[in-house]
Amino acid sequence: MSTFVDKPWGQEIIFTTPDLPYTSKLIFIKAGRRLSLQYHELKTETLTLVNGSARILTGTDKDHLTISLMEPNLGYTIPPQELHRVEAITDATIIEASTPEKGTTVRVEDDYHRPNETK
């Protein structure tokens, strides 16, 4: 069973059910769009670029983030409390493997003015 979730920057396909001890999803980001600058209270995630071109921003201080061009097939692990954002240069597909969607996702900056999410 897959769940399709439309997002303002593209779409997610969630492959796992909420009762499992992990979450797996495909993230499709449209060229020129970006995810929120955010952090998760509890969730650890690993992001892997499958195709396209994207940048990942990470760090603990929003004014001093590390910006990296994502390399295909390389895992980028984001621990809880670490700021992060993905920006698509071209249409991009990313695999996310993570701990369950628990706690709050805090959006520090969001191009679409969405509130924080609590699961």
* Statement: residue 119 has pLDDT above 90: no
* Statement: residue 101 has pLDDT above 90: no
- 118 in any annotated domain: no
- 83 in any annotated domain: yes
End-to-end CA distance of the chain: 20
Domain interval for residue 107: 3-113
Please tell me the predicted confidence (pLDDT) of residue 95. 98
| CATH, residue 86 | 2.60.120.10
Q: Pseudo-torsion of CA 61, 114, 10, 89, nearest 10°? A: -30
- 51 in any annotated domain: yes
Q: What is the DSSP letter of 33?
A: -
Please tell me the predicted confidence (pLDDT) of residue 13. 98
88 by Cβ neighbours in 10 Å (0-12 / 13-18 / 19+) ranks as buried
* Statement: residue 102 has pLDDT above 90: no
Instruction: Look at the chain and report how many structural domains it folds into.
Output: 1
- 21 in any annotated domain: yes
Quote the pTM value: 0.94
pLDDT tens for residues 14-45? Answer: 999 989 999 999 999 999 999 999 999 999 99
* Statement: residue 106 has pLDDT above 90: yes
- 101 in any annotated domain: yes
pLDDT tens for residues 55-89? Answer: 999 999 999 999 999 999 999 999 999 999 999 99
